[in-house]
Amino acid sequence: MDDLYREIIIERYKTPQYRGHLDPHDIHFEDDNPLCGDHIEVTLRVDSDGRVSDARFDGKGCAISQASADLLIESIIGKPLEEVKQLSKQDVLDLLGIELGPVRLKCALLSLKVLKAGIYGLGEASDELVE
Amino acid sequence: MSLDSLRLRQDFPIFERQVKPGMPLVYLDSTATTQKPLTVLQAMEEYYRRFNANVHRGVHTLAEEATALYEAARQKVAAFIHASDAHQVIFTRNASESINLVAYAWGRASLKAGDLIVLTEMEHHSNLVPWQMLSAALGVDLEFVPISEDGLLDLDAYRLLLDRRPRLVAFTHMSNVLGTINPAAEMIRLAHAAGALTLVDAAQSVPHLPVDVQALDVDFLAFSAHKMLGPTGIGALYGKRSLLEAMPPFLGGGDMIKTVHLREFTPADLPQKFEAGTPAIAEAVGFGAAVDYLDAIGMQAVADHEQEIITYALERLEEVRGVKVFGPPASQRGGVASFILEGVHPHDVAQILDTFGIAVRAGHHCAQPLHEKFGIPATTRASFYLYSLKEEVDALVEGLYRVKKIFA
C-alpha cells in the first residue's frame, strides 16, 4: 500500500477524534480551498493562562485535509496559544508522517491556516501563515 | 474500421516510461493535454536544427524557408478544419487566447451596454471569464443555456433566449467535463436565424471529431494544438473573412502592421493583423505535424475509436458500486468520463490511482459553475484519445476497487 495513505490518515478520516463544534468558544474561524471544495472550521476554548483548554474542528473534504485537521487539533490541546502560533508546515507534515506534492500540500495545510487566522483574529487565512 | 491503438502507441515515446516502477503508464488525462508522437517532436527539432530564422521580414534563405514552413503549417491547420482560405486561421497561444481575441477585438468594437451574449452552463472558464470581463467593461448582459440532469443543453430554453436577440452565442462544441457533444450545426443555424453571431469553443471537438467550419457555418472557432498531439504554446482562431477584416487588431507590435509612423499605423492584412510579435514558429511547425498525423489516421476513425472506448468505460464504471458518472449516454458524448466515488474525495481517488501509474484529473476541471450546478466541489475525470486501450479502462476500474478497499 501507498505510503501517502498511512493507516493513521485513513483511520482519522473515517473516525475522527476531534470532530465537532464547541459552544461557547473563545476562538472560531473557517475557510475553504475553492480548488477542491475542502472546508475546515475550528473552535477553541482558551483558559486564563492562555492555554488551549479544548478544541474541535468540523468540515468536509479529502482524507488528507480532514485527517490533518484531526491530528492538528489533538496536538494543540493543552498548549499555550503562543506555542500554537509557532506551528509550521513541517509540524503538520510530521503529524501526518508523509511527503506531499504542492497541490496536496494545500489540503494538508488548510487546517493550520484556519487555526492561525482564528488565533491571530485575521479576516482571512492567507498562505503566508503556513510558510 | 477500428484503430490499432496498440501499434499507434509505439509512435509516442512517453509510453516507454514507467512513472511508477514496474507499472505501465496509464494516461487517462488527454482532455487536459495529449501526449505527442515522435513525428511532432522531430519536426520541431528539425526546424530548430535546420531552418531557424524569424518569419515574414527576412530576405535570406533561412528566413524564407522558416516563413514557408510557418505558412505551410497554417495551410495544414486550415485544411484540417475545412476552412476555405488559410488567411482565416490566426495563430494564437491557445484556445483561451483565441476567445479573448474575439472578446477584445470584436466585442469591444461591436457591442454596447445592454447587448446580450448567450453562453451555456457547461462552459470551460476560457469561454466564460473573457465574456465576464467584457460584461464588466461594457455592461453587456450574459445569459446561460441551462443543462439537464443528464448533462444535455436545454434547447427549448435556448430558443427562448434567442428571442431576446443576442448579439453573440458562444458555446462549447464538446464539454471537457461531461463529454457532451452539443448539436453545434443546429445551434448555429438557430443563432443566425435570430441575427446572432456564433463562437464555438472547439478545444475538445477539433482534436476528437471531424469538424468542418464551412458545413457548420460557424463565425468564430477556437482550439489549441496541445490537445491534439501538438505542442503547448500555440492555438488557432478561425474566423469568417469579412468579420476578421472588419475587426480592429488585438495586440499591437511588430509583424501586425503595414506601415508605422510616430503617431499612427496601418494594420497588416489577414492573418498577420492579429499576430503581433514573433510568433511561435517551431510550435506552428509541430502543430502542422500533429495535423498530418491525425489526417493520416482520419478523424472519423479517431471518433469511432473513442466512441468504442467510452461505451466500454461507462459500462465498466457502472459495475463499481458507489461510482456515479456525470453526463449523457455514450452515444451523445466524446471520450470523457467525470465521476465521483461515494465516500472518497476525488483528490484521494486520483492520488491513489497515481500510485498505480494511472493518471487521471481531479478537481473542477476549469468548469467550477458546472460543478456548482451538480452540487459537488470536484470530480475525478478519466479521458481518452486515439492511443487509449480497453485494458486501460480495466486498469482504472481495478484501481477504483483498490481505492474502495483502502477506504472501506
User: Which amino acid, one-letter code, is at B390?
Assistant: K
Q: What pLDDT digit, counting tens, does each position of B10-24 carry?
A: 999 999 999 989 999
CATH code where residue B227 lies: 3.40.640.10
Q: What pLDDT digit, counting tens, does each position of B251-295 carry?
A: 999 999 999 999 999 999 999 999 999 999 999 999 999 999 999
The pLDDT score that the predictor gives to residue A3 is 64
Residue B35 counted as domain residue: no
- Residues in chain B with CB shorter than 8 Å from the CB of A61 are 345
- Residues in chain B with CB shorter than 8 Å from the CB of A38 are 345, 377
Nearest CA in chain A to B354: A2
Q: What is the mean pLDDT of residues B160-183?
A: 98
The pLDDT score that the predictor gives to residue A86 is 94
B378 has pLDDT over 80: yes
Residues B215 and B97 in one domain: yes
Q: Distance (Å, rounded) from C-alpha A29 to C-alpha A43?
A: 7
Residue B396 counted as domain residue: yes
Residues B20 and B63 in one domain: no
Q: Distance (Å, rounded) from C-alpha A39 to C-alpha A65?
A: 8
Q: What is the mean pLDDT of residues B141-148?
A: 97
Residues B345 and B252 in one domain: no
The pLDDT score that the predictor gives to residue A124 is 66
Which CATH code of 3.40.50.300, 3.40.50.1460, 3.20.20.120, 3.90.1010.10 fits the domain covering A3-119?
3.90.1010.10
* Cell numbers representing residue B180 in the block: 457532451
Range of the domain at B78: 41-296
Domain stops at, among B296, B329, B359: B296
Residue A34, preceding bond cis, omega within 30 degrees? no
Band (B147; pLDDT cuts 50, 70, 90)? very high
Domain stops at, among B296, B324, B350: B296
* Cell numbers representing residue B383 in the block: 479521458
Is residue B351 less than 8 Å (CB to CB) from chain A? yes
Average confidence score pLDDT of chain B: 96
Domain stops at, among B296, B316, B350: B296
User: CA–CA distance from B172 to each of B187, B320, B342, B404 (Å)?
Assistant: 11, 30, 29, 34
Residues B333 and B240 in one domain: no
Does A104 contact B351 at a Cβ distance shorter than 8 Å?
A: yes
Residues B211 and B330 in one domain: no
- Residues in chain A with CB shorter than 8 Å from the CB of B399 are none
- Domain range list for chain A: 3-119
The pLDDT score that the predictor gives to residue A5 is 75
Residues B16 and B128 in one domain: no
The pLDDT score that the predictor gives to residue B173 is 98
Eight-state DSSP code of residue A97: T
Is residue B348 less than 8 Å (CB to CB) from chain A? yes
Which range (A84-98, A113-127, B63-77, B357-371) has the least confidence?
A113-127
Using alpha carbons only, give the angle B357, B391, B5 rounded to the nearest 5 degrees.
Answer: 100
Give A88→chain B minimum CA distance, Å. 23
Residue B60 counted as domain residue: yes
Q: Mutate which of B347, B354, B366, B368 to test chain A, going by most A C-beta atoms within 10 A?
A: B347
Q: Distance (Å, rounded) from C-alpha B128 to C-alpha B112?
A: 18
Which residues are bridge partners to B323 per DSSP?
B341
Residue B120 counted as domain residue: yes
User: Which amino acid, one-letter code, is at B32?
Assistant: A
- Residues in chain A with CB shorter than 8 Å from the CB of B362 are 36
What domain count does chain B have?
2
Q: What pLDDT digit, counting tens, does each position of A36-80 carry?
A: 788 999 999 999 999 999 999 999 999 999 999 999 999 999 999
The pLDDT score that the predictor gives to residue A123 is 65
Does A104 contact B355 at a Cβ distance shorter than 8 Å?
A: no
Does A107 contact B347 at a Cβ distance shorter than 8 Å?
A: yes
Percentage of chain B modeled with pLDDT above 70: 100
Q: Distance (Å, rounded) from C-alpha B234 to C-alpha B164?
A: 36
A2 has pLDDT over 60: no
The pLDDT score that the predictor gives to residue A1 is 45
Q: Distance (Å, rounded) from C-alpha A66 to C-alpha A37?
A: 12
Residue B36 counted as domain residue: no
Q: Which residue has the cell 478561425?
A: B238
Across A15-25, b (16+ Cβ under 10 Å) vs e yields: ebebeeebeeb
3 state SS of A130: helix
CB B271 within 8 Å of CB B87: yes
CATH code where residue B357 lies: 3.90.1150.10
Residues B219 and B322 in one domain: no
CB B278 within 8 Å of CB B54: yes
Give B219→chain A minimum CA distance, Å. 34
Residues B145 and B199 in one domain: yes
